[in-house]
Amino acid sequence: MSEERKTPKRTRDVQILMRLTPKENELLIKRMTEAGMTNRNVFLRRMALKGFILRLDMKDFKETNMLLRSAANNINQIARRVNENGSAYRSDINELREKYEALRADFAGIREQLTGL
């Protein structure tokens, strides 16, 4: 009357061997822990099949950062002038508006790229 236990047939027949340095293995274990997982095979399979790599073009961010710094400098110059003279030049304000619009367009482009991920 002993009931035989049948082992289900494996559905994953392809085996992949991977070698890591000790530091890479530590990082792998750290990432597994952060993900709340304890089974390395499950973690690696999920990352390989469902994970993604995010690659950003930092050129856009650098240009936007440069515009942001430039606009901040212009604001400071206008504030100094207003504090000294009580008024600001129309050309300074127009230049600041142009830089603001360029910043807005850059951020919209970056947002659009990130949305497509």
> Packing angle between helix 58-85 and helix 90-115, nearest 10 degrees?
160
In a domain, 8, yes or no: no
What range defines the domain where residue 26 resides? 17-51
In a domain, 12, yes or no: no
List all residues 6 or more positions away from 40 whose beta carbon is below 8 Å from its beta carbon: 28, 32
Question: H or E element: which one contains 100?
Answer: helix 90-115
Q: Which residues of the chain have pLDDT under 50?
A: 1
Asked if 70 and 27 sit in the same domain, the reply is no
- The per-residue pLDDT for range 56-81, each reduced to its tens digit, is 677 777 888 888 888 888 888 888 88
In a domain, 3, yes or no: no
Asked if 40 and 64 sit in the same domain, the reply is no
pTM of the entire structure?
Answer: 0.41
